Structure 1
Amino acid sequence: MSMYRQLWFAIILSTLIALVGSLFASTMSSRAYLNEQLRMKNSDNATVLALSLSQKNIDPVELELIITSLFDNGHYASIRMFDPNGKILVERLAPDEQSTVPSWFKQWFPIQSIPGQAQISNGWKQLGSIHLVSRSGGAYETLWNSVKDMFVTLSISGLIACYLGALILRRIKQPLKQVIDQAKGMTERRFIITPESSVPELKQLSSAMNSTVTLLKSMFAEEAERLEAMRIRANSDATTGLANRAHFISQLQASVEEENAPSGSLILIRLAGLAAVNKTLGRNKTDELLKQIGQLLLAHQAKLPDGFAARLNGTDFALLFRQKEARPISQNLLSEIRQIFAAVADDFMVSIGFGDYEYGISSSGLLAQVDAALAAAEASGISDIHQSAPLNIEHAPRSAEEWSKLILRAIEQNWVKLAYFPVTKSDGELVHKESALRLMFGGEWFPAARFLPIAERLGLTEKLDLIAIKLALDELSKTNSSVDIAVNLSAQSIQGSEFRSKLKAILQSKPGAAKHLWLEIPESGVFANIDAFRMFHTDIAPTGCKLGLEHFGRQFDKINLLHDLKLSYVKIDGGFIRNIEENEGNQAFIKGVCTIVHRLALLSFAESVTSNAEFISLQQLGLDGATGPEVGRLFPLKD
């Protein structure tokens, strides 16, 4: 029995005991009082009657008439007159009284009407005695009514006492519930600070729990800061704070070669006169200028979708982003970089090459195309911008209007399907199948990377995400399999309340299948719209779906938000996985990430594993599983 029930039981029991005790004591007191009143009345009436008869010389007939007349008033149960020898001279007995008082009440609380006795005499001569008993029905009525009134009064008092007890329990229960939720949150790796109670004892408890939570949060934050510093050291250029070449190449490969890789642009920048500036100003001042370049590129990185800036070598920089508007950005960069070096050398030369890419191009091919544009800009002999030649992609890009028609037609004709890829443990045990949406255009199935960017601009991602969910649920229901399916959702979709309502209705229509569904959202989208994700979690969590982040690790400095998101898993970004066997810094970073997310009771998976060397290295770092082309080759899905 819970403490609250025990307290409630104690309050109710004590109230009942007080009610019954008070009622019983009051009833017995009233009964004793009525008994005494009847005894006194009988005695007084008998005395008065005996005195009135003693003053007259009454013959037996007249005496009988007087007693009969008195008895007929209905106030007496019996009147008897005895002669000096004890013989009954006159006797009048009343029939049993008719009363509304329950018989059980009379049995439990009997009222005894003690007879009143008095001597009748004539001078010194004793003529006899009178015995008189009053009716007790009125006394029973009085006692019964008194008990009823008292019961009502005490019942109201009891209800008031229970209400006051409820207020007191509520005052105690609220801070206790907060402490319990706080303790549960700690087991779930959520750190909650609760207001301190006004109850002194509970205030001490709340204060102690808050101190513990604060300590755990600080320890968690310190570990996260240590890992973030490790990540920066392993993947960043010490002078500018930008990503280094190795990390940029890994990120570029993940960005253009993954299944869901969106289209975008790559800008390469070369500071052709940097060596001369270094000789003139010295290393320290040159480094200050390079730091300004780094801050400039980081500012552009923050404003661009999935922006990623890097320093490739002493004079070359790169900016990768998910947007096909590289020319105006390149022009702004050219102007801003020249302003930074204007005070040093008016003729400082900056060369910029840029190009767009889509799914289907290799990272090496993209770099070659844009590097050729950079070389052409440098060959001009002045600060200049050049665009790369059209990329040799099998399917040439279409206009936004044409893409819109194709996407909507594919949706209307139900030319949609899901492709599946394995996510496995290191021994090959299947954790779940990761799905990717396909649309048919002109008899050919197109991967999501080809149409998702334009779908986002056209506001069609919500429709596509709902279609993917329905297909996954149909697959789970059809096969009745215990193998779970993961579906990628757009961060743009989950922001809409209408989308969340529709998604919730779809999941609730197939509750059994929904429990085998994993929903994952890009890390950048979640952290950029943290409130929207919390609302999404509130709406979807009751359906039993698992929620996770994909492309995790790019914004590791925000890992302190994870304990509030109630996630089930994270998938570490492929940029940290590429060539992991050669990068000790990333190995230490991923191992630390796994330690933290496991403390948060989350699963961790690696994305974009492309080689057996990567897969073998990841097995030593504490990950719960992996996915990618190499995993699909090693452990292909069975039909």
Structure 2
Amino acid sequence: MQDTLVREETQVTKNALVVDDGLVERLLGKAMLEKLGFTVSMAASSEEALDWIGQYPVDLVLCDIAMPGMNGLDLLDVTRTRPRAPLFIMSTNYDDAEHALASMRRGAYGYLIKPLRFEHLRQTVTEVMAKYRNDRNSALEAEKLAQQDPLTNLINKGEFLRRLSNRMQTPQPDAENGALLLIKINGLNHINHSYGRLAGNKVLQFAAMTLSRLIRPSDVPARFGGDLFAVYLDGVAPSQLLDRTQSIMADIEAAKMVLSSEAFSLHLAIGGACTHSGIEVEDLLNHADFALHLAREYSRSRIHIYSGADEVHKHELAHQLNTLALVRAALDDRNRMSMHYQPIINLATGAVSHYEALLRLLDDDGKVCNTGELVKTCEVFGLINRLDRAVVATCLEDMSRIPEGAGIAINLSGKSIGDPELLEFIETRIASLSLDPSRIIFELTETAAFYNLGEVRHFVQRIKSLGCRFALDDFGVGFSSFYYIKELDFDYLKLDGSFIVKLTENPHDQVFVRAMVEISKVFGLTVIAEWVEDSATTDMLRDFGVALGQGYYFGKPQPLAQ
């Protein structure tokens, strides 16, 4: 029965080699191992054994330690670095712990004392097979962990790129037909903040499961990390890629899961790039990554497939990078950054209510950069928090030069609202400069509120508790404006200039402005009209009940007098 069990253990490990300078010991070892189911060869020296192992497959070596020339431990050292090193059981006439420890420390799986006895050999072989199986399973598990994302059970980025590289280096019949997709789950941070990270993990697992279900066995899916997945589509021609990508997006977004007892569906952005002869993995990855950037920034369908025409966007990105360098330089050198202030006038009295602070940043030639592009670049590259803190700091320092009774309106990016350091910074600066907080107004656009309504509400409440005020800027250009004036405690409603610039000529704009004035009364809001360019518009706004006006008719943005 025991021999049968050993034979079952040796189904994988079946070729053995007995190495001993004694003929009797070689023959005895050969007979015992054959009884255990091995196919056995013999060698009279380590040199002969090394030559045999170099030519033929050997799974188990029963090896004497003390031999002339190269001894058994040296043979063990030489062979254990081979790609498929055989298992060694060392044998010796010396019954001492020193030889046993030396053998095991140098990689032997077992140790026997001569003369060999079958029962001892059988037991040692059984233990060696079990230990080998455990070691092999552990190695396979470690290799699996090194290659696999533990959350989704998809392969990770490193393993994906290794497989992709192998595919692209191995000539394929349809080498031109293949594509890489990068798939981003939009809003994962919001899910983590609103429902917790366990819910976010559940979303990632759901996305991985759904993606795996939609692709073919020849395709390769992976999780790159965070909210980003990748899939290599095998055998997809360039003319088919857009349809295939649209189908994948539609099916994933149509799938439903449950979060906090509510139905939830994923919202994606996908960038794709096709393979072709001669393209390197790094280039393919860069093309797909850039396509994903374009899908998120410019594509209404949230899908973009890379093409040669996208090079023009790379020039735009290069321009953004130049702008980014200018911002970084300005943050380190405040002389390159200044605030200009445009008056906001009380239409009934003609007095200045407050000034809107407008950022001006100079490029290397001393020209003023486009502020809209500047802010967008900072939001994309994660510098907006530093920029907003610098703007707030400058404006608060300028308060001492603002005429008594007037205030300053400071614009903030929506991506800074969730920054707890900004809250603390504002509170500390107001206190340290002994400023009257009622003279400070923060302007948020509707798009700023869109990022995270809960964070905006907390920010507004916290700053208003100091005595500051808030304005909702660009009102009327989005779909959620009315929702925000209901949900958030604003003090001012700033009508977008597109409703003002042709107010005297456009009856629809007139109806809109009148309606906004009436709605503002219900919510206790003061209405500000921007882009006021002439006296006729001013008179009409005053007649409609608009309280404050801003525009070139009242004054252009100017730096404060020293």
Fold agreement, TM-score > 0.5: no
TM-score, length-normalised on structure 2?
A: 0.42
TM-score, length-normalised on structure 1?
A: 0.37
Select the structure with the greater relative contact order (CA < 8 A; seq sep ≥ 6).
1
CA radius of gyration, larger in: 1
